[in-house]
Amino acid sequence: MNKTADVTVVGGGVIGCSIAYYLAKKGADVIVVEKNKGPSFGASGTNQGACPLQLFEPPVLELARQSLKLYKNLSEEIGYDIEYDNVGALVCSVDEKQYSDMKKHVEKKKKQGINVRLIEREELLKLEPTLGENVVVGVEEWESCGVNPFKVNYGFACAARRLGARFLFSTEVGKIEKDKDKVTSVATDKGKIITNFLVNAAGAWSPQIGKMLGLVIPVKPRRGQIIVTEPTPLNKRWRCISDADYLLTTAFDLKATEVSKDKRIKLGVAGVYLQESTGNWTIGSSRDFADYNTNVTMQTIRYIAKRAIKFIPKLKDVSCIRTFAGLRPFCYVDGLPILSKVDNPQNFVIATGHAGEGITLAPITGKLISELIVENKTSLPIDAFSFSRFKNAYLQNLG
Amino acid sequence: MQERKVNNIVCRCEEVTEQEIRDAIRKFNLTTVDEVKRLTRAGMGLCQGRTCGSLMEKILSEEINKKVSELLPLKKRPPVRPIKIKLLAKKERESE
């Protein structure tokens, strides 16, 4: 028998489940379609759960800021502990040449209204004895947090379900049917869903969904590799420490990483070192393109390990218990998310391209997409994330 | 099913009990061992489920009335045994 829904969301990751939750909260009848056996089988289940605010730049910065605000009370709101952890964020450099850049970083962040503080080497070492002799300077800020990404994903899913949302797992979209300029139904291997809206939150797989409607969604899977260690005693002050090079490898500057002579930068290795409340460290990460391959590579893992020891020398005698890799939906035109309706079909909504920032941006993405669908306007401007921004890029490609 | 003591420790590394695992499966309608791991931490410790993995499978198969052979196996990732970060960081060959 056919199912009917106000909104069908493709993708049961943290973005899809957040959208389902905020839509259900507004009274919409939602169905989530996920091809895997449960949530968190893509990027949502293969990340560190770090949300370091000072690493964001406009226009995404405002989304991150609002998302962090939503995270603060999320456990209470959805009735499930997402392990919100007020770890703050320290961006740290081990390169003398970066000193002036770090000073500029502080000035810029202050102008953006982020409460950052520059900390010189001596004070860094005093406040955090696990930091190594190599550190040059650091910038701290306490608006950032860590969360348990699995729990965020399942928490949103369960809260949505309580509000009436339905979840179809192990269900794959086969065909999307259209009538003139509107999607009418979604055919899956478990039956047809007649729907008023269709949301593409399929992350690294979102281009395949777009293709069913003849749309080119300029997103490709970018692989990130991460090391997990056994627990160690908790750090005194900072449990979320980022390599200043992070700004270099994550910003949309693929050219800079490509032309770099440093093999590490070429592999996109720049760390966020996050110590969870359990004492375990997740040591990230890297950025490379390997299609849909989720294997880790020894070479990249080696560079990640080597780099981590530079920042936190005591990690060298700590055991790695696991490595893993995940696929981030990366927009190869400008590196920005796509949060947008499209002209045709007019009831098709795209929410993807979050790259390595999906966990940070999940709550605000759900909220904004629900507003876009139910109220046809959003509480924050999302023009910068519009699908129409690609028109020119396409023409250039064709020309 | 017969009532029985379920406060047995299933995952010794992370100290997760049978009851916690059964509760999580029921609460979240879990169908895979990976999900049980993610939500209870069973199998997230030093042994990475090498000891408790088969117990988790057995509990899950009881809860959802499926054979163990029908379950999606726990995802395996390197390393096979815990390895010091300094060894991971070491060059494999001088030529690199």
Give A133-158 pLDDT, tens digit per residue. Answer: 999 999 999 999 999 999 999 999 99
First to last CA, chain B: 59
Decide if B28 and A154 are in contact by the 8 Å CB cutoff.
yes
Neighbours of A172 (CB within 10 A): 13
Give A295-311 pLDDT, tens digit per residue. Answer: 999 999 999 999 999 99
Give A45-90 pLDDT, tens digit per residue. Answer: 999 999 999 999 999 999 999 999 999 999 999 999 999 999 999 9
Which of A102-106, A276-280, A394-398 bottoms out in mean pLDDT, i.e. has the lowest? A394-398
Of the candidates A38, A308, A317, the beta carbon closest to that of B31 is on A38
Please check whether residue A370 touches B, CB under 8 A. Answer: no
B39 — pLDDT class (breaks 50, 70, 90): very high
Domains of chain B: 9-88 (1.10.10.1100)
Q: Is A230 helix (H, G, I), strand (E, B) or coil?
A: strand
- What are the DSSP calls for A266-304, one per residue? HTT---EEEE-TTSEEEE----B-BTB-----HHHHHHH
Decide if A158 and B28 are in contact by the 8 Å CB cutoff.
yes
Show Cβ contacts of residue A342 under 8 Å, excluding neighbours closer than 6 positions: A215, A348, A349, A350, A387, A388
Domains of chain A: 3-45+150-218+334-398 (3.50.50.60), 89-141+220-331 (3.30.9.10)
Decide if B78 and A296 are in contact by the 8 Å CB cutoff.
yes
Give which of A35, A40, A154, A297 to mutate to test B binding, by max B Cβ within 10 Å: A154
Given a cut of 70, is residue A12 above it in pLDDT?
A: yes
Name the A residues in 111-170 with CB < 8 Å from any B CB: 150-151, 154, 158, 169
Average predicted confidence (pLDDT) for chain A: 94
Element at A50 (helix H, strand E): strand A50-51
Decide if B88 and A317 are in contact by the 8 Å CB cutoff.
no
Decide if B35 and A315 are in contact by the 8 Å CB cutoff.
no
Which of A6-20, A99-113, B81-95 bottoms out in mean pLDDT, i.e. has the lowest? B81-95
Average predicted confidence (pLDDT) for chain B: 92
What's the pTM value of the predicted model, to 2 decimals?
0.96
Average pLDDT (A171-179) is 97
Please check whether residue B68 touches A, CB under 8 A. Answer: no
Residues of A in contact with B88 (CB under 8 A): 227, 301-302, 305, 320
What is residue A257's predicted lDDT score, i.e. its pLDDT? 75
Please check whether residue A321 touches B, CB under 8 A. Answer: yes
Given a cut of 50, is residue A197 above it in pLDDT?
A: yes
Torsion region of B35: left, alpha or beta (phi above 0 gives left; psi -120 to 50 gives alpha): alpha
Give which of B30, B44, B85, B93 to mutate to test A binding, by max A Cβ within 10 Å: B85
Which of A97-111, A255-269, A369-383 bottoms out in mean pLDDT, i.e. has the lowest? A255-269
Average pLDDT (A19-33) is 98
